[in-house]
Structure 1
């Protein structure tokens, strides 16, 4: 992981903080995927989820899907909607176009919380594991709404075919 691609995480007072910065692509999403999966599998004591994207300069659909998975986790655990901070106009355009505002409270302002966070390392995924991560992320996007379904169903169908 480089300085430009960073995932920071902390769980403080039952609030899980994610800080994502740099270019967020499927090629560097394994650490985030692993963290979201661990959150689903074991209750980390999260009563609230906060995502800070203020230092993210780019995000692909796989990463947006991982965020959708995070929102789905909150919904399944009957937690409040997660809060997402983002001041980057291109990132915000993507979030709104893929309807993440239906799953997150999006705050287009800088964050001022000073939380001591730990870096999250990339995980070593096989090609198969990486394919499954991309598939899960896009399935989460499709679940958000119908326009995402029409946009990403062909991707999901192709991935399912390739992963057989």
Structure 2
């Protein structure tokens, strides 16, 4: 059972990594997810398949969408199967499809019934610089998905790069 503060739950079982994201997913509470993505890329987690459950997510900002795009990019780079994403929330689905995440994920619009024991992922104590880099990298992953996203978010990436320089 998830409690209100459990926004990110994670488990890795037999090389399958499960992410369950709940509530309002904003850049202000994304450091735990970013840390998980970084651990995945640095091979500290041994994942051969990824599953993301967004059935309890009520809102996602572009930083979180970019973190999802990073997960998809990880799978592509490792030549793993496309990650599976479960979402029954109409507003979240609209956002996922409008940003073309259906090209990077197998999106399943139904509830999940997995009985995986998941651990709550805590926010990481990021500095302002680390938070800025997290937001930048998330948006870079988002624009790497396709031209439409590049048109939409390139200015955000440019401003972030200037601010972080």
TM-score, scaled to structure 2? 0.97
The CA deviation at 1:5 is 5.3
> Residues of 1 paired with 2:111 and 2:128: CA distance?
36
Partner SS state of residue 130, structure 1: helix
The CA deviation at 1:42 is 1.5
Summarize deviations over 1:66-96 as a string: whole Å, max 9, x none: 0000000011011000000000000000000
Contact 1:4 1:21 in 2 (8 A): no
Summarize deviations over 1:33-60 as a string: whole Å, max 9, x none: 0000000001522110000000000000
Contact 1:86 1:108 in 2 (8 A): yes
**Are residues 5 and 26 of structure 1, via their aligned partners in 2, closer, same or farther at CA, if it must alter by over 3 Å?**
farther
Aligned residues: 163
Equivalent position of 1:91 in the other structure? 92
Q: Which 5+ residue runs of structure 2 have no aligned equivalent? A: none
Equivalent position of 2:7 in the other structure? 6
Detail structure 1 runs of 4+ shifted over 6 Å in the superposition. none
Equivalent position of 2:121 in the other structure? 120
The CA deviation at 1:3 is 1.2
